Amino acid sequence: MIRWILRSLAALAVLILLAVGALFLIPAERVAGLVVGKFKTLTGRDLVIEGSVRPSIWPVLGVKTGKVAMSNADWSSSGPMFQAEGLEIAVDMAGLLNGEVKVRGVEAVAPVLILERARDGRANWIFGGDNGGTVSLDTPGVGKAFTLDRAVIADGRVVYVDHAQGRRVELTALDLETAIADFNGPVDLTISAEKEGQPFALELTLGRFRDFLDGKLGPVEADFVAGEARAHFSGQAGWNPLAAKGDLESDLGTLAELSALAGTAPPRLPQGLGAGGVTVKGAVTLTDKGSLHLRGGTVVLDETVLAVDADLTPGEARPKVTAKVVAGALNLAAVAGGAGGGAQGGMQAEGWPKDRIDVSGLAALDADISLKADGIDLGLAKFGPSALKMTLDRSRAVFDIAAMKAYGGAISGQFVVNGRKGLSVGGDLGFAGMNLQSLMRDFAGYERLVGTGDLRLKFLGAGGSVDAIMQGLEGSGSLSLGKGEILGLDIGGMIRTLDSGYVGEGQKTIFDSLTAGFTIAGGVLQNDDLVMTTPFAEVTGKGKLGLGARTINYGLRAKADVAGQVLTVPILIKGPWADPKISLDLEALAKERMDLQQEELEAVARAKAKALEAETKAKAKTKLEKELGVVQQEGETLEEAVKRRGEEVITDEAAKALQKLLGGGN
């Protein structure tokens, strides 16, 4: 694009400069016509010059025009490709007399340049051949070395439109100044403009102008400024194909100006992760395939320092970032909503945040990032040395935890944030050897559970806010603790005295072990198998924990031997998390007593009935022995004895009858 534009401008400049000599022989009104005709032949485009071409002889030889316009490609409907309020060109008279063209100055007033690429790939800045015109490298002035003491564009506008990609880029208030003292030497270029209403400035030093003109890689120094954002690049760059390699140092501010230039809303970066400023430095490479690479990079987000090696590739549907990040202590409290549970009220809070969670940024790119950090502070929880991997694919981020030290133990598993259809979060996490009091203190401002153990948790929730996610949470899990304490509750005291006053400061329950499994459905955690062993009792429990509503309705049953009597004491924990009530479940206790008394009465009744039955059987046995001669043998029931005796009598009578029949008896 740049090469063809320069060829065209060079052709136009040569035509106008040659016309300067003709101004002494040809009337001024005919000069414009000659230039226009020749330009049409060279480019195939119409050139309109309003007014006359006016020569100047002193102090320099030059020419001025009125309004100038060049037609666009025949397939474009955007109006003239180039137009300006006027052009002014000055040349060195001595050089001209010696047959050498040395341009002293070129100035374009309020120029407008429209660059377009059609849907079929044709570009409006290419002339010659099938595109019309005869301009080529053989055209006088094109491709030849030249010098330029000063070139100026004032209040210009450049528009680039790609109809195939539906992309439009526009620069306004464009001011440009440069000088080409040596065609094979360095050139300085100063540009200022506005894009999307955001001003910016760029200072370039091209180490070898000929290489730049040909699009080859060549030495480049660049300084960029847009508001608070600043960047310096030192290395090599070229545009045919577009490529660069060198060192970058940048202070990008809050990214507000860069976002404005990109036509997007500025990112709402959390405190500690760039809210106050972002800086990037390192070795960068832009390849001819459009991929961008950072090596030995240092990224500073507020006070957070990251060592980064990263690759950004275009991808088919969206860009993809592949990176390795090493950090010291990461403060991500703002990402998790600020400070921890204790500082935010924790269990005392009235509800979950209902602010909409925006995860639209997950759709911007795909990613494969590994992170190692000396520590991670989420505000609601703090972790030690950690190693994890984040994979982002089509708005779905998966965090695989390879190793994470926390609260005296370790965490492993997977966490997922899915933004493909709304927002859902899920995970399968294992917590081994965790100090529960420290964890719950940071997570929810709750310090009553003291112990070390294991927690397994699977969960899935969907919704646009934390409140919505917690209200519909689904999942399951298990908890297993060794020796520990429950502070603020003395179950042993309640058992001994049947008094619910053993609650509050200074009260505690010591246990040897605690196990429980649970399920979560509709934001409600259900547990039916809690078992807690203590030196004085065995405690079981079941009930519900409203994760969404932040309520608890849980019952404990403590069974203990008190003064030779086994007592079972039910304890009820009920109410909001902020202020649950702990009391003896008198209704359950009364029912249990009634059930116990009923069992005792039934046992007495059963004993009396059994004794009466035995007495009746004894009397019947005695009577049968006296009256019928029935003698109960060992292991034989009374019924069996009666049946046996009956069979004996029948047998004896039958024998006697048979004997009489046969005549063998009296």
pLDDT in the model for residue 522: 94
pTM score: 0.71
Q: Is the pLDDT of residue 486 over 50?
A: yes
Which of 321-325, 528-532, 617-621 is predicted least confidently? 617-621
pLDDT in the model for residue 22: 46
Strand partners, 255: none
Task: Please list, in sequence order, all residues whose beta carbon lies within 8 angstroms of the beta carbon of residue 44, skipping any fewer than 6 positions away.
Answer: 127, 128, 131, 132, 133
Q: Give how far Cα 366 sits from Cα of 14, 315, 387, Å.
A: 51, 9, 20
Task: Give the pLDDT confidence of 379-393 residue by residue, as tens digits.
Answer: 656 788 999 999 999
The candidate with the shortest Cα–Cα distance to 46, out of 10, 73, 76, is: 73
**Sequential DSSP letters for 455-523:** EEEEEEEE-SSHHHHHHT-EEEEEEEEEEEEEEEE-HHHHHHH--TT-EEEEEEEEESEEEEEEEEETT
The candidate with the shortest Cα–Cα distance to 418, out of 404, 397, 437, is: 397
DSSP type of residue 78: S
* Cβ(209)–Cβ(190) below 8 Å: no
The candidate with the shortest Cα–Cα distance to 105, out of 82, 88, 84, is: 88
Domain extent listing, the chain: 1-177, 609-662
Task: Give the pLDDT confidence of 53-69 residue by residue, as tens digits.
Answer: 676 655 556 678 888 89
CB atoms within 10 A of CB 79: 11
SS3 653: helix
Name the helix (H) or strand (E) containing 275.
none
User: Using 50, 70 and 90 to split pLDDT, how confident is the model at 338?
Assistant: very low
Instruction: Give dist(CA 620, CA 631) in Å, integer.
Output: 11
Instruction: Give dist(CA 650, CA 662) in Å, integer.
Output: 18
User: Using 50, 70 and 90 to split pLDDT, how confident is the model at 213?
Assistant: confident
* Cβ(624)–Cβ(642) below 8 Å: yes
Among 229-238, 456-465, 614-623, the range with the most confident prediction by mean pLDDT is 229-238
Instruction: Give dist(CA 336, CA 520) in Å, integer.
Output: 22
Instruction: Give dist(CA 185, CA 208) in Å, integer.
Output: 5
Instruction: Give dist(CA 307, CA 619) in Å, integer.
Output: 100
Q: Is the pLDDT of residue 489 over 70?
A: yes
* Cβ(410)–Cβ(403) below 8 Å: yes
Task: Please list, in sequence order, all residues whose beta carbon lies within 8 angstroms of the beta carbon of residue 222, skipping any fewer than 6 positions away.
Answer: 202, 203, 204, 205, 231, 232, 233, 234, 237
SS3 181: coil
pLDDT in the model for residue 89: 76
Structure tokens at 341: 């549970």
Instruction: Give dist(CA 494, CA 504) in Å, integer.
Output: 13
Q: Is the pLDDT of residue 369 over 90?
A: yes
The candidate with the shortest Cα–Cα distance to 489, out of 547, 531, 447, is: 447
User: Using 50, 70 and 90 to split pLDDT, how confident is the model at 215?
Assistant: confident
Instruction: Give dist(CA 443, CA 341) in Å, integer.
Output: 5
State the chain's mean pLDDT as an integer: 80
Task: Please list, in sequence order, all residues whose beta carbon lies within 8 angstroms of the beta carbon of residue 524, skipping any fewer than 6 positions away.
Answer: 544, 545, 546, 547, 548, 549
Q: Give how far Cα 203 sits from Cα of 214, 238, 257, 560, Å.
A: 20, 16, 18, 85
Q: Pick the residue with more confidence: 104 or 515?
A: 515
The candidate with the shortest Cα–Cα distance to 498, out of 438, 434, 584, is: 584
**Sequential DSSP letters for 135-156:** --TTSTTTTS---EEEEEEEEE
Q: Is the pLDDT of residue 501 over 70?
A: yes
Where does residue 605 rank: exposed (0-12), middle (13-18), buried (19+ CB within 10 A)?
exposed
